Amino acid sequence: MEEESMEEEGGGGCCEAMMDDQNHNNWDAGGYGRHLLGPAAVPLGDHLLRGATAGPQAGPELPVVPEANGMLRSCESGGDTGKGGAGAIAAAININASTSKFLMNVITIEDYKSTYWPKLDSAIDQLLTQSPGDYIPISYEQIYSCVYKCVCQQHSEQMYSDLIKKITNHLERVSKELQASPPDLYIERFNVALGQYMGALQSIVPLFIYMNKFYIETKLNRDLKDDLIKLFTEHVAEKHIYNLMPLLLEAQSTPFQITPSTMANIVKGLYTLRPEWVQMAPALFSKFIPNILPPAVESELQEYAAQDQKLQRELMQNGFTR
């Protein structure tokens, strides 16, 4: 059976580092041997398999006979491995391919596609579509464990590809819904989409922490959160920035057309997605992002004062007094 190792995932020692996590089948230093045979087992190189517990319950010591195909077969103590020992060997413990697959917790690509990814897919769906304050009926422990096991079984590349495809499809639907929004609801709906997505990332990124550490950072030299933010930029923000910005500028010139919190969330969000968008409306971004504009100079003090007076008049016209 092909050896499963985190070293091939670019993050050797993953299973050893997580050996204290009882949710992950105790994959500890020493490989699967101690998990299967008990704490008293010794390395296979000693050619002995000892009982799992000490005392009168312990089983007899069994010599190990290596098979030509790399599997291990043991015979009873005192048995003859030569001529005449065939019956003893046939009656002894024989770890065949199917048994070893079960005991060693091997996850085939078919297992991943039929069992593991559907669980992740469903959880991601719920996280991407939840509203603030919603209770999500998913087991974070179960999803966390699924990701860990798939990483240890060398399915990181497939899992990363599936995750990117899943979120890309979701964001394309979000973009189409925004395109169909009327102008008076456009800003608010963009704010909801942005906030909902950024909120989902706060759960999605930690759930895929093992994949991020042992595949994305190690092999791709990137970071999962950055990749997922980039997806929103490419599939939503870039497609709507030229419709959104004029509406934001118009809302800025009409106080309280949208709430200050909505304006702040969108402006700060756009700056996070792509800082160079500041150049499209420096005055707007400067109200929410510090140090956007150059330092004030004495020659422009009168202009600053005129802007302040204009703002005060607008506030008074909307019912605010000094």
Three-state secondary structure along 208-231?
Answer: CHHHHHHHHHHHHCCCHHHHHHHH
Position with higher pLDDT, 220 vs 33: 220
Which pLDDT tens digit goes with each residue over 180-219?
999 889 999 999 999 999 999 999 999 999 999 999 999 9
Whether residue 322 has pLDDT greater than 80: no
Position with higher pLDDT, 179 vs 137: 179
Whether residue 83 has pLDDT greater than 50: no
Q: Specify whether the CB–CB gap between 235 and 164 falls below 8 A.
A: no
pLDDT range class, residue 237, cuts 50, 70, 90: very high
Whether residue 36 has pLDDT greater than 80: no
Domains and CATH numbers, the chain: 109-317 (1.20.1310.10)
Position with higher pLDDT, 118 vs 73: 118
pLDDT range class, residue 22, cuts 50, 70, 90: very low
Whether residue 79 has pLDDT greater than 90: no
Out of 1-10, 148-157, 250-259, pick the least confident.
1-10
| Mean pLDDT taken over the chain | 73
Q: What is the pLDDT averaged over residues 49-68?
A: 40
Strand partners, 74: 64
pLDDT range class, residue 140, cuts 50, 70, 90: confident
pLDDT range class, residue 130, cuts 50, 70, 90: confident
Q: What is the pLDDT averaged over residues 228-237?
A: 97
Position with higher pLDDT, 114 vs 29: 114
Out of 49-53, 92-96, 178-182, pick the least confident.
49-53
* Percent of the chain's residues with pLDDT above 70: 59
Look at residue 81 in the predicted model and tell me its pLDDT: 44
Look at residue 104 in the predicted model and tell me its pLDDT: 52
Q: Is the dihedral of CA 251, 256, 259, 264 positive or negative?
A: positive
Q: What is the pLDDT averaged over residues 4-18?
A: 44
pLDDT range class, residue 75, cuts 50, 70, 90: very low
Position with higher pLDDT, 254 vs 202: 202
Measured distance CA(1)–CA(319) in Å, rounded: 77
Say if strands 48-49 and 62-66 run parallel, antiparallel, or are unpaired: antiparallel
pLDDT range class, residue 69, cuts 50, 70, 90: very low
289-310 in b/e burial notation, b at 16+ Cβ within 10 A? beebeeeeeeeeeeeeeeeeee
Q: Specify whether the CB–CB gap between 277 and 270 falls below 8 A.
A: yes
Look at residue 305 in the predicted model and tell me its pLDDT: 72
pLDDT range class, residue 300, cuts 50, 70, 90: low
Measured distance CA(160)–CA(235) in Å, rounded: 18
Look at residue 297 in the predicted model and tell me its pLDDT: 58
Out of 166-180, 199-213, 308-322, pick the least confident.
308-322
Measured distance CA(240)–CA(236) in Å, rounded: 6
Whether residue 18 has pLDDT greater than 60: no
